[in-house]
Structure 1
């Protein structure tokens, strides 16, 4: 599989993991400050566990990509995760996507395109 495809799959899985963890975090109701109880709530929350699993899968695919390309080429492409998370947050959680954020996200995309041409 081409390295760019592996990178994109890794970024998408990572972004989906963020969304899943946000879903899980939003459903938590415990205000307990005890760290052990917090961990128990986290690890018994299905969306959080799905998010962590997606992160793990993303990491394995990322490593497969790094076998084929330079880190200095691959890592900037991970910034596409910021763009994807912002768009998914807007679509799923109705989070605001201001003009300033859109401009910033566009700059990230342009930067990734420039780097991918090298």
Structure 2
């Protein structure tokens, strides 16, 4: 992966994580889904600014990913996007104060090791 491709990859990952942040923020505004509020929740998705922003960031990340697929092997790119999981766990902990059990930390460490191995030169 060239420097240009790596920068595009990082931008794609960051856009995905920012999208996660806005989707979580918007979902918290909607409240919990029940059978009686399902229709209002669907309408709320289209009218909650955070959710619309989050979906736009996801769309941007998808466009960058598609552009990267023209230059980077799928066997490297697709698993590398798992870094979004790592940053999402950190976002959950430090922004939304979600607990991170030790098992999840081990999983995050394994993801990081896997991505490093995938991106390593032969």
TM-score normalized by structure 1?
0.91
- Match for residue 40 of structure 1? 43
After TM superposition, give the deviation of residue 31 of structure 1 in Å: 5.2
Q: CA RMSD in A?
A: 1.7
**In 2, Cα distance between equivalents of 1:31 and 1:2:** 42
Q: Do the aligned partners of residues 31 and 68 (structure 1) sit closer, same or farther apart at CA in structure 2, a change above 3 Å counting?
A: closer
Any stretches of 5+ residues in structure 2 without a counterpart? none
The residue that corresponds to 2:8 in the other structure is 6
Q: How far off is 1:7 after superposition?
A: 1.4
TM-score normalized by the length of structure 2: 0.88
Q: Pick the aligned partner of 2:108 from 97, 105, 110.
A: 105
Q: Deviations over 1:61-81 (max 9, x none)?
A: 111111111111100111001
Please, which of 18, 24, 32 is the counterpart of residue 20 of structure 2?
Answer: 18
Q: Give the unaligned 5+ runs of structure 1.
A: none
* Aligned residue pair count: 118
What is the rounded CA distance, in whole Å, between the counterparts of 1:40 and 1:28 in structure 2? 10
